[in-house]
Structure 1
Amino acid sequence: MHVDEWLQAIPAVWICVLVGLVIGIESLGIPLPGEIVLVSSALLAAKGVVDPLWVGICASVGAIVGDSIGYAIGRRGGKPMFDRLGRRFPKHFGPSHIGKAERYFHRYGMWTVFFGRFVALLRILAGPLAGALRMPYWRFLVANVLGGIVWAGGTTAVIYYLGMAAEKWLRGFSWVALVVALLFGVLTTLLLRRRAARMAAEETQEPGEPVGAA
Structure 2
Amino acid sequence: MHRFKISELGRNVFWLQGPERDHLVRVLRLSPGDEIIGFDNSGAEYKAVVNTVGDHSVTCGILEQDYPEVEARTQVYLVTGLSKGEKMEWVIQKGTELGMAGLIPLRTKRAVMKLEGNKAKDRVERWQKICGEAAKQSHRVRESKVYPVADWKELKDLLPPTTQWIIPYENEKSMTLRSVLKEFNPQEPIAILIGPEGGFEESEVLLAQNTLQAQSVSLGPRILRAETAAIATLTLVLGYYGDLG
TM bucket normalised to smaller: under 0.3
Structure with a larger share of its residues in strand: 2
The TM-score normalised by the length of structure 1 is: 0.26
Q: Which structure has more RCO (C-alpha within 8 Å, separation ≥ 6)?
A: 1
The TM-score normalised by the length of structure 2 is: 0.24
Larger Rg: 2
